[in-house]
């Protein structure tokens, strides 16, 4: 089990990165199949969206439990550009009015501010379903705002900063 260390000072927004795994191949993640999401994006929060249960027992006691999370990430705006494969992918999904499995993409989330004793960064891979939103909004170019709804379990692990190779915690190599 790895011991994680946080960097001194406050983590900056650029110290948390989200990548699209371009070929969807989660077994071999590295520089060659990753594209960072964020250039020109003004807001990209991951909302936890807790699922809750509320009840009251016969004695009048209120009970409140968080039973899970339905995480989502809004990407606003994503400017369509010839330099971004991710923007082109989202543009094509909008163009074809994609549905069902065509909207499932793989993402890698990386915390640069949290490292292990080997300098590897804490990370996870998770599948996301793209919910297409506003298209061509505003006057600053063509944008493709969308929300990624994370589904399934996270695969927790680490990323080597020099190669961006992902190793899951279950690989036993940490």
CB 107 within 8 A of CB 126: yes
pLDDT at 40: 87
pLDDT at 22: 96
Whether pLDDT at 172 is above 70: no
Distances (CA, A) of 64 to 51, 55, 61: 11, 7, 10
Neighbours of 87 (CB within 10 A): 24
Whether pLDDT at 174 is above 50: no
Mean of pLDDT values over 89-103? 97
pLDDT at 139: 73
pLDDT at 171: 66
Distances (CA, A) of 108 to 33, 34, 57, 94: 11, 8, 42, 22
pLDDT in tens, 118-167: 999 999 999 999 999 999 877 778 899 999 999 999 999 999 999 999 99
pLDDT in tens, 12-63: 999 999 999 999 999 999 999 999 999 889 999 999 999 999 999 999 999 9
Whether pLDDT at 173 is above 60: no
Question: Model-level pTM?
Answer: 0.91
């Amino acid at each position: 089990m790895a011991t994680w260390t946080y960097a001194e000072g406050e983590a900056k927004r650029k110290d948390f990165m989200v990548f699209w795994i371009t070929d969807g191949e989660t077994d071999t993640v590295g520089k060659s199949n990753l594209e960072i999401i964020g250039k020109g994006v003004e807001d990209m929060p991951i909302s936890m969206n807790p699922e809750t249960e509320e009840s009251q027992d016969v004695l009048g006691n209120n009970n409140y439990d968080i039973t899970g999370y339905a995480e989502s990430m809004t990407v606003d705006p994503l400017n369509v550009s010839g330099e971004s494969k991710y923007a082109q992918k989202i543009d094509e999904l909008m163009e074809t009015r994609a549905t069902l499995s065509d909207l499932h993409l793989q993402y890698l989330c990386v915390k640069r501010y949290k490292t292990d004793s080997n300098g590897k960064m804490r990370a996870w891979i998770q599948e996301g379903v793209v919910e297409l939103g506003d298209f061509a909004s505003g006057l600053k170019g063509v944008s493709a705002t969308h929300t990624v709804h994370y589904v399934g379990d996270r695969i927790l692990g680490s990323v080597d900063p020099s190669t961006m190779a992902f190793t899951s915690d279950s690989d036993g190599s940490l």
